[in-house]
Amino acid sequence: MNYIVFKDENALYFECGYSCDNAIFLTLGKDRFFITDGRYEIEAKKNIENAQLCITNSLIDKLVEILKKNRVKKVVIDPIEWDIFSFNKLKDSTPTKFKFRPNFSHNKRIIKSDREIELLQKAVKIGSESFKLVAKEISKTNLVKESELNFLAESILRDFGNRDISFEPILAISENAAKPHALPTKRELKKGDLILFDAGVKYKRYCSDRTRTSFYNGEANFKIKQQFSSKKIQKAYDTVLKAHDRAIKKARSGMKAKQIDALARDVIEKAGFGNYFVHSTGHGVGLDIHEMPYISSRSDTVIEDGMVYTIEPGIYIEGEFGIRIEDMVVMQNGRAKVL
> Tens digits of per-residue pLDDT, 137-167?
999 988 889 999 999 999 999 999 999 999 9
User: Mean pLDDT in the chain?
Assistant: 95
Kindly indicate the confidence band of residue 14, based on its pLDDT and cuts at 50, 70 and 90.
Answer: confident
In this prediction, residue 7 carries a pLDDT of 75
Kindly indicate the confidence band of residue 16, based on its pLDDT and cuts at 50, 70 and 90.
Answer: confident
Assess contact for 192 and 216: CB atoms under 8 A: yes
What is the assigned CATH class of domain 114-338? alpha beta
User: How far is Cα 280 from Cα 297, in angstroms, rounded to an integer?
Assistant: 7
Q: Quick check: bond before 79 cis, omega within 30?
A: no
Say which DSSP state 260 is in: H
The pLDDT tens digits of the residues spanning 229-244 come to 999 999 999 999 999 9
Each domain of the chain, given as residue ranges in start order, spans 2-109, 114-338
What is the assigned CATH class of domain 2-109? alpha beta
Residue 214 makes CB contacts below 8 A (sequence gap 6+) with 135, 194, 195, 196, 197, 220, 221, 222, 223, 226
Assess contact for 203 and 126: CB atoms under 8 A: yes
Whole-model pTM: value is 0.92
Strands 2-5 and 291-295: what pairing? unpaired
Higher pLDDT: 113 or 142? It is 113
Tell me: pLDDT of 76 over 90: yes
Choose among 15, 1, 77, 13: nearest CA to 51: 15
The pLDDT tens digits of the residues spanning 42-70 come to 999 999 988 999 999 999 999 999 999 99
